[in-house]
Amino acid sequence: MPRYFLEVCYNGAPYSGFQLQENANTIQREIETVLVTRFRKALAEAGMGRFKLTGSSRTDAGVHALQNYFHFDAPFDITAQHVYSLNAMLPPPIAIVGIYPLPAGAHCRFDAVSREYKYIVYQHKNPFLAGRGYYYPYPTDVARLNELAALVLGQQDFTSFSKRNTEVKTFICTVKHSAWAAQDGCLAYHVTGNRFLRGMVRGLVGTMLKVSKLPNAVETFKGIIAAQDCTLVDFAVPGDGLFLMSVNYPDGFFSQQP
Q: Would you place residue 166 in the very low, low, confident or very high pLDDT band (cuts 50, 70, 90)?
A: confident
Strands 64-73 and 242-248: parallel
pLDDT of 33 strictly over 80:
yes
Report d(CA 233, CA 230) in Å as an integer.
5
Domain boundaries, the chain: 3-111, 114-245
% the chain with pLDDT above 70: 100
Instruction: Find the length of the chain.
Output: 258
Tell me which of 21-25, 44-48, 50-54, 115-119 is least confident.
21-25
Q: Which CATH class is domain 3-111?
A: alpha beta
Q: Would you place residue 167 in the very low, low, confident or very high pLDDT band (cuts 50, 70, 90)?
A: confident
Chain centroid to CA 138: how far?
27
pLDDT of 138 strictly over 80:
yes
Report d(CA 50, CA 30) in Å as an integer.
13
Per the annotation, the verdict on 157 as an active-site residue is no
Q: From the candidates 60, 77, 157, 234, give the one annotated as an active-site residue.
A: 60
Mean pLDDT (the chain, rounded): 94
pLDDT (tens digit, 9 = 90+) per residue, 79-122? 999 999 999 999 999 999 999 999 999 999 999 999 999 999 99
197-214 average pLDDT score: 96
Q: Which CATH class is domain 114-245?
A: alpha beta
**122 and 186 Cβ atoms separated by less than 8 Å:** yes
Same fold, 3-111 and 114-245: yes
Q: Would you place residue 200 in the very low, low, confident or very high pLDDT band (cuts 50, 70, 90)?
A: very high
Q: Supply the pLDDT for residue 249.
A: 98
Q: Supply the pLDDT for residue 218.
A: 97
Q: Supply the pLDDT for residue 132.
A: 93
DSSP collapsed to 3 states, 124-189:
CCCCCCECCEEECCCCCCHHHHHHHHHCCCEEEECHHHCCCCCCCCCCEEEEEEEEEEEECCEEEE
Q: Supply the pLDDT for residue 1.
A: 79
pLDDT of 224 strictly over 80:
yes
CA torsion, ordered 162, 166, 167, 173, to nearest 10 deg: -10
Q: Supply the pLDDT for residue 185.
A: 85
Q: Would you place residue 19 in the very low, low, confident or very high pLDDT band (cuts 50, 70, 90)?
A: confident
15-33 average pLDDT score: 89
